Structure 1
Amino acid sequence: MQAATQARQRIVSTAPIDRVAIEILEKFAPVETSPAPDEDTVLGMLDGAVALVCRGEGKVTARMIAACPTLRVVGRTGVGYDSVDVAALTARRIPLVYAPVSGFAVAEGAMALLLALVKKILLCDSVVKAGQWNRRYEFQTGDMTGHTFGIVGLGRIGMHLARLARPFEMTILGYDPYVPPEAAREGGVEPVSLEELLARSDYVSLHLPLNPETRGLINRARIETMKPGAILVNTARGGVIESLDVLADALESGRLSAVGLDVFPAEPPDSSHRIFRHPNLLCAPHVVGTSEMAMERIYRSMATDMLAVLENRQPKFCVNPQVFG
């Protein structure tokens, strides 16, 4: 009877996952991938599921959680979990494990966007390819050295970015109400208020989770307090900026000289939006944290923690550890 029960168990993923994760998870039960990430399709696969992997566009809703009495753990690829109903999981005492192990890749991506914008790499590239060599006299590239860099959010990613920024001999400011000032200073970051950071920084990079406190944090009013001609980079979550309209207005007015985005309020974004016609916008399709090394670490970490829960052991990274109390 026990063997028959075990055979019905399964682990479901909302989207395909890497082989390294499958090999770890299949030590407990077979892994099945949903043909589509929408709620109804995934719901149809949850009978007997003991674990659910939330990847890509997939979501874990209260309806899904309620429909799966056998569910014991949910795993989220990456560090963001705004697509998961954490309250519903916690009410069922189901742990949500995640994988905050790719911060280096996101920090590198943020720095890459910033450097490309400061040095006007896209403009330089287009001028040469168009045979317009003499346009080199029409513009100047910018500098990192001697400027002020503001990092909003001093978690793993923000602090790694600060380490990458130090060799450029910039003044590094940081805002994070949950990080002790002495911890910021130890990382070479001057802790300041958000208002002071925006007013003083030539370049600003956002590294915040998306939650009710941070949604729309960078709004029209705050952008208006930024240094004229500042550069803004967002590799966190699209929703921490009020809207693409606000960014487009800031670019068109010159309040922002350039913007780098890896994330958007809605993904994929509406490519017909006027912001995408602005020459000083540099975009990526939410990929800066998905380098080869980062993804291997993410899948291995998440799957290892999910297996730990299934084997009645404590996971390393858990969003709601109170479920073990």
Structure 2
Amino acid sequence: MGSWKVVVTDFDYADVHPEEEVLDRLGITLIKAQCRSEADVIEICKDADGVLTQYAPFTREVIEQLDKCKVISRYGIGVDTVDLAAATEKGIIVSNVTDYCIDEVSDHAMAFLLACARKTVVYNQAVKQGVWDYKVGMPMFRLRGRALGLVGLGRIPQQVARKAQAFGMRVIAYDPYLPEHVARDLNVELVDLNTLCEQADFISIHTPLTEATRGFIGPEQFRRMKPEAVIINTARGPIINEQAMINALESGAIAGAGLDVLEQEPIPADHPFMKMDQVILNPHAAWHSNEAQEELKRKVAENVVDVLSGYWPRYLVNREVREKVKLKEKSPTSE
């Protein structure tokens, strides 16, 4: 029971008390690290039975060195830091937490939308600089009747759709994997990506980062957008071709952006966005609330406890691993 080795490779939280409380069910003492490189991860995780990880790289080279690992559990929804194919080949379960921060991220996307629509940040900056003039926010358009385009229509953007509709917005979405009846029940029209870019006044990104979505919103998409369009990203920075977005903003091809995520985080001090008043920047904070953080930390540890106890975790990413690993399904009473 107490012989398992579980490592948290890296974390930017004040403590890992919720994780430790969960792992204590198996008598596990969590080993804390702050790995930054592949070599760091290999050194401390080579003989680990389970891993909790935030940003540390789990490349193929790393995974091939994990001799005992049964589960890699990632803080968050995205798993772009883990080579899923390599983990599956090695028989390692990869898990995440797909149902946390849904309220937080959808609220944050709407906060960007409203701030850009009503120019609240522009007005705030102007007033603090001694300019009391509503005209600094021009042009400004009524939100009701405007079109919001959602790139991806999973759990978070479905909440965004409901919240935007409460403001009288028309919602369209691009999601080739979503059953049409789900969109229909939400009163959301499914369209192709080109149509979304051409029709939307606000475009909000909600797809995971994969090789297929890296640079997904690029020059062609920006060329199709309205000059008054605003793009919002609370997903992952590399989904948008950042140079193409810079070009579109500098040329006036689009009106603005609300960005919680970027290609490089933290953003360099000399980045063009830092001088653009039409761009609102946040430090990858959309996920955060006290409640969301507590929930995430507890659930990421529960994934590890499930696997080490012989059960499939609630949040299984690489489902193909079922062909290599034999575990039990948890009954409702064992939750």
TM bin (shorter chain): over 0.9
- In 2, the alpha carbon distance for the partners of 1:203 and 1:113 equals 10
Contact 1:100 1:298 in 2 (8 A): no
Contact 1:79 1:100 in 2 (8 A): yes
Structure 1: stretches of 5+ with no match in the other structure? none
- When residues 47 and 197 of structure 1 are mapped into structure 2, their CA distance, relative to the original with a 3 A threshold, is closer
- When residues 249 and 69 of structure 1 are mapped into structure 2, their CA distance, relative to the original with a 3 A threshold, is same
1:136 offset after TM fit, Å? 2.1
Of the three residues 265, 268, 273, the one matched with 2:266 is 268
- In 2, the alpha carbon distance for the partners of 1:238 and 1:287 equals 13
Q: Which residue of 2 aligns with 1:60?
A: 58
| 1:206 correspondence with 2:205 | yes
- In 1, the alpha carbon distance for the partners of 2:35 and 2:53 equals 12
Q: Which residue of 2 aligns with 1:89?
A: 87
**Percent identity between the two aligned chains:** 32
Q: Which residue of 2 aligns with 1:41?
A: 40
Pairs within 5 Å for 1:105-144:
105-133=104-132, 135-140=133-138, 141-144=140-143
- When residues 310 and 274 of structure 1 are mapped into structure 2, their CA distance, relative to the original with a 3 A threshold, is same
| 1:14 correspondence with 2:5 | no
Give the root-mean-square deviation of aligned CA atoms. 1.6
Structure 2: stretches of 5+ with no match in the other structure? 324-335
Q: Which residue of 1 aligns with 2:31?
A: 32
Q: Deviations over 1:149-204 (max 9, x none)?
A: 11110011111111111111111001100001221111121111111111011111
- In 2, the alpha carbon distance for the partners of 1:27 and 1:36 equals 26
Contact 1:77 1:298 in 2 (8 A): yes
Q: Deviations over 1:93-128 (max 9, x none)?
A: 111110012222111111111111111111111222
Matched position secondary structure for 2:280 = strand
- In 2, the alpha carbon distance for the partners of 1:85 and 1:139 equals 46
State how many pairs are aligned. Answer: 317
1:36 offset after TM fit, Å? 3.3
Contact 1:103 1:160 in 2 (8 A): yes
1:12 offset after TM fit, Å? 0.7
- In 1, the alpha carbon distance for the partners of 2:136 and 2:156 equals 36
Contact 2:122 2:136 in 1 (8 A): no
Contact 2:109 2:204 in 1 (8 A): yes
Pairs within 5 Å for 1:237-276:
237-243=236-242, 245-276=243-274
1:143 offset after TM fit, Å? 2.9
Matched position secondary structure for 2:221 = helix
1:138 offset after TM fit, Å? 4.2
Q: Which residue of 1 aligns with 2:326?
A: none
- In 2, the alpha carbon distance for the partners of 1:137 and 1:176 equals 38
- Which range moved further: 43-52 or 138-147? 138-147
Contact 1:247 1:275 in 2 (8 A): no
- In 2, the alpha carbon distance for the partners of 1:12 and 1:117 equals 42
- In 1, the alpha carbon distance for the partners of 2:87 and 2:56 equals 16
| 1:226 correspondence with 2:221 | no
Of the three residues 280, 284, 287, the one matched with 1:286 is 284
Contact 2:197 2:224 in 1 (8 A): yes
- In 2, the alpha carbon distance for the partners of 1:142 and 1:288 equals 25
- In 1, the alpha carbon distance for the partners of 2:286 and 2:105 equals 5
